[in-house]
A = this chain, B = another copy of it.
């Protein structure tokens, strides 16, 4: 029986690789906590190393630089918020499109209030001197993808109201940009719907950020209620009605 141990998990490449993966995870976890507590600007390789009782130079065996560690945390944060949003949407019946939309919006706001620094890491002003590498785009897209798919599914179910007659037509260059997005990711929706969807997506994060950063202090005290009402208005602006179309 013992002889088999050498063969356990051969893809992992032995205990060295396993230890390496574990320490990498520990570093990430500690760094994540530091960001959560003090913000991304205050993230220090040395502080993380100190807490893990290793020398600061040892961290360089795992991350080539502070920026690389930051990138990993950014991807992490995008995935965390994406996961919350996906799970929130999944908890609502697929036929209840309005309810799914509400769940998505509230999940974003909940994440932001519970993890303000991680939210800021990805939706706040960029860390000076830091350039986001392309590996972040996939995780970053999770929330808008959920929103887009929701629109597609509501559309196919005939649960999406037409835009009002007074709505301005979408300019051709915008339509052409969005047709590319449609073709690659949302085959079932029209580019004109996407234009309105982007506006709602932006509005959602705009509202969450504005509230989080204190710009509504003195204007709206009951943020919960205002947000809930806003979500209804946002839904309406893309054609989703509470209780569905009749």
Contact = CB atoms under 8 A, between A and B. Distances in A.
B222 A174 contact: yes
Given A199-B203, A199-B233, 6 more contacts: A41-B127, A124-B125, A126-B214, A168-B242, A174-B222, A202-B215
Contacts of A124: 124-125, 213
B42 A128 contact: yes
A69 to B, nearest CB: 18
A174 B41 contact: no
A120 interface: yes
Contacts of A203: 199, 202-203, 206-207
Nearest to A176: B222
A126 B41 contact: no
Nearest to A124: B125
Contacts of A167: 233, 236
Interface string A154-188: 00000000001011101101100110010000000
B38 A128 contact: yes
A225 B171 contact: yes
A127 B127 CA distance: 11
17 contacts: A42-B128, A124-B213, A126-B214, A132-B214, A164-B164, A166-B241, A168-B232, A171-B225, A171-B228, A173-B225, A174-B222, A177-B219, A198-B226, A199-B230, A202-B206, A202-B215, A205-B215
A168 B216 CA distance: 21
Given A164-B164, A166-B241, A177 B210 contact: no
A237 interface: yes
Contact of A206 (B195, B209, B233): B209
B229 A195 contact: yes
Q: Which of A120, A213, A216, A219 has the most C-beta atoms of chain B within 10 angstroms of its own C-beta?
A: A219
A23 interface: no
Nearest to A229: B171
Interface string A40-63: 011000000000000000000000
Given A39-B128, A128-B38, A236 B198 contact: no
Contacts of A207: 199, 202-203, 206
A137 interface: yes
